[in-house]
Amino acid sequence: MAKGILRVKAKTAGDLTSVKMLAKHAMETGLRKDKKTGDKIPAKYLQEIQVSHAGKVVFQANLGTAISKNPYFSFSFAGGAKGEELQLSWKENTGNSATETAKIK
């Protein structure tokens, strides 16, 4: 399986799980021009990121062209235990999407 675009560090302390997530993505707006050809670079950006734990959504972000390259997210949620998994899903404006997993440490 190819390596996903989301890099996640999730740690639990007591009954709270803290998550730090970096989305390795260019987030092209469709407004920039290629320096060599002068052609516009097509829009390709993340529209949605969702994180679930034990079947419940614990984080959801609806994104657009105003988000910077390689966006970083940090959030916490109640619950989670060491060794459990988070389900991460993302969707681009191009229709591409994927689901990834990350373990809580």
- Residue keyed to tokens 């950006």: 45
- The DSSP bridge partners found for residue 76 are 18
- What domains are defined for the chain? 6-103 (2.60.40.10)
For 80, other C-beta atoms within 10 Å of its C-beta total 23
Q: Mind listing the pLDDT tens digit of every residue in the chain (105 residues)?
A: 346 899 999 999 999 999 999 999 999 999 999 999 999 999 999 999 999 999 999 999 999 999 999 999 999 999 999 999 999 999 999 999 999 999 999
Per-residue three-class SS string for the chain: CCCCCEEEEEEEECCEEEEEEEECCCCECCCCECCCCCCECCCECEEEEEEEECCEEEEEEECCCCCCCCCEEEEEEECCCCCCEEEEEEEECCCCEEEEEEEEC
> How many residues are there in the chain?
105
